[in-house]
Structure 1
């Protein structure tokens, strides 16, 4: 329904942006074109440091037993050391 409304809105369909929508069971990446994507591995990242954070998160998930909040924080810290547009000021909020 969101994708349909998005695509029919004159302003939103031209938006060049990404948005992450999640709850405790679902995780989606929504593009500016209104495409709704569900990641195969349950990991998404957006922004200038997104590709670095995504790679770091995938490695951490596959090779450690860290909690999701720790994976997110560490992946963002790694991205901040690589991408000049990503800073180290990180706030992690968990859904309950």
Structure 2
């Protein structure tokens, strides 16, 4: 794998890492916004139903953010080590 491809994969992993963090830390506002949209589209609901929907949306964003965060972190670590090993192999051949 070429050096440019590994660097681009590290950048993609870092972007996934950042997106996952944003989703995790903003899950309450994203979930509230989604639950309010659901409430408007359904013409209203009682408080207990709204709370269940709200918790569901918040949990969805937490889980999705955690998965994206984990994939990004694993990608950055894996491709960084690959990049460092490639550098060591090149320097040992010279």
Which is greater in Rg? Answer: 2
The structure carrying a bigger strand percent of its residues is 1
Give the number of the structure with larger relative contact order, counting CA–CA contacts within 8 Å between residues 6 or more apart.
2
Greater fraction of residues in helix: 2
TM-score (norm 1): 0.33
